């Protein structure tokens, strides 16, 4: 059994915030993999289902971002899980929009949700970082993450959420590198190779080793016999 946690703030006021992309990601996973209905548990919303061969619990804490660890701590104690069995999906301002990074352990990096989880279960859980971009000035970060995605943002955001949900089984199977690569391919597919220009006629002829004066079998061309009767003097 594994626990997947999406981070965000509860309530319609925050629903479209960049800070809530963790909620959005797990909502899409629940939809794509036909999880059970949400129910209130562990100071949050919980849904159960399977991804591949793994039984997965998905939790959206309703304690607000800076107290997310309370809900996560309750859940892992109830199910007797270890931090290594926990995956947390959240917004990352130090990644450009649409980029994804996965790692196990590490610091909070200024993220209040992670800081709270660290204080309740330690740091040895998996972090799935979804890039939302940096506003360019640290004084603007608060307004940036609590601001809504624009209509233009939804183009890459929805594409990212769909790819994460589609490929999440790779991550749960221990293939974090393949998971990141597959998502990256969806977000930035390789450019198609341009078609090769046709060879000039002279090159094609030379490549075929055919004498232009020979017939199709490579034999010298013989002039046709003249069957007309000789003319009278």
Cα separation values, 95 from 24, 62, 101, Å: 18, 26, 8
> How wide is the angle at C-alpha 177 spanned by C-alphas 193 and 172, nearest 5°?
130
In the block, which residue shows the tokens 């624009």? Answer: 150
Calpha distance 60→43 (Å, rounded): 9
Distance CA 97, CA 100 (A): 9
**Distance from C-alpha of 130 to C-alpha of 153, rounded to nearest angstrom:** 13
- CA 145, CA 148: separation in Å to the nearest integer? 8
Indicate the helix (H) or strand (E) that contains 103: strand 100-104
Question: Distance (Å, rounded) from C-alpha 135 to C-alpha 122?
Answer: 30
Residue 142 bears catalytic tag: no
Question: Catalytic pick from 19, 33, 111, 144?
Answer: 19
Which residues are known catalytic residues?
19
């Amino acid at each position: 059994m594994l626990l997947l946690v999406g981070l965000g703030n509860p309530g319609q006021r925050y629903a479209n915030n960049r800070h809530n992309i963790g909620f959005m990601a797990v909502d899409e996973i629940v939809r794509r993999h036909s999880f059970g209905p949400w129910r209130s548990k562990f100071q949050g919303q919980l849904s159960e289902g399977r991804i591949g061969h793994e039984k997965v619990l998905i939790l959206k804490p309703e304690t607000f971002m800076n107290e997310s660890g309370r809900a996560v701590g309750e859940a892992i104690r109830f199910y007797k899980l270890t931090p290594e069995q926990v995956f947390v999906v959240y917004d990352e301002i130090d990644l450009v929009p649409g980029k994804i990074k996965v790692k196990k352990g590490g610091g909070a990096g200024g993220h209040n949700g992670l800081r709270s989880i660290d204080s309740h279960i330690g740091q040895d859980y998996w972090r799935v970082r979804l890039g939302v971009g940096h506003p360019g000035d640290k004084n603007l970060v608060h307004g940036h993450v609590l601001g809504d995605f624009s209509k233009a943002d939804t183009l890459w955001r929805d594409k990212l959420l769909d790819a994460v949900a589609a490929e999440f089984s790779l991550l749960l199977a221990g293939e974090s590198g393949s998971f990141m690569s597959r998502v990256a391919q969806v977000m930035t597919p390789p450019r198609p190779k341009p078609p090769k220009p046709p060879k000039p006629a002279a090159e094609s002829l030379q490549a075929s080793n055919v004498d232009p004066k020979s017939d199709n079998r490579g034999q010298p061309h013989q002039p046709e016999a003249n069957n007309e009767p000789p003319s009278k003097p």
